[in-house]
Chains A and B, each alone.
Chain A
Amino acid sequence: MCLAVPMMVKSIEGDNAICEIDGVRREASLMMVDDVAVGDYVLIHAGFAIEKLDQEDAEQTLALFRQVLAAGGMPE
């Protein structure tokens, strides 16, 4: 039940945003998040953006994965 999907904000009107993933668009309430801009990724759950995705942080995790891959699974 706690599933939520990262979607990109396409447009904002008042406290609502139109968000998109893989060509699917949905309206979501921005009641729970601050400082959201068009182009941001937000996590959508039951019609609400529950958190903004930190893209820099996501890239750091992915970079860590690339290190694990490069090290062939040896602990870094």
Chain B
Amino acid sequence: MYVSLVRTIILYLLIVVGLRIMGKRQLGELQPSELVVTILVSNIATLPIEDANVPFLGGAVPILTIVCFEVFFSTWAMKNKAVRKVISGNPRIIIRDGVIDQHELQELRLSTDDLLEQLRSSSIYDLRDVSFAILETTGKLSVYPKFAARTVTADMLHLEDTQHTDAPPVVLISDGEVIEDSLHYCNLKAEWLEKTLKENGYRQKDVFLMTCNRKADYYIIPKEIRT
């Protein structure tokens, strides 16, 4: 049993490293090839874990080969549009200028129920509100609503960003630990942080969470004191 235990730990680490090599693409919306890779890796990993007669390398070699080829093909696809088209396919427009492309729906084997379900998940309940709908290569539907159905934006209302909120707040202190990179991002110094905490009556170790933006607009949540 110790063999299974150790093999499982090593394969776990190997898959984590493999996913890191493949990058964040593998963790979000999956392209068809990425889905295949994920299924294959998870299946191959179980072989040497379940069957002690299979050499460890019998699992590790195919997993690493798949990881390598996923990186090779995604790099190739990044540089070559034709390869990208073969591996990932093309986004397909299924609603154009408010008109459903029925032929495209049939080609994609997408029923009207599927279409309406996807629209609802994009918070669109009336087909007449849609100007364009594009089925992405990941299977996700991107919707561009008609002008009347669009959310009002600050730009439409000609509002100015006086608070400079384009730079979002970042975590400055997490569970009593200062994050130096965030301090640098906010163009602030350790002295400022020390002074601010003192003014608010906190010590660094008493802070559960502190966020701050580039305007030095901060928010502090102290640690709960358990009795």
Partners in one complex: no
**Residues in chain A within 8 A of chain B (CB atoms):** none
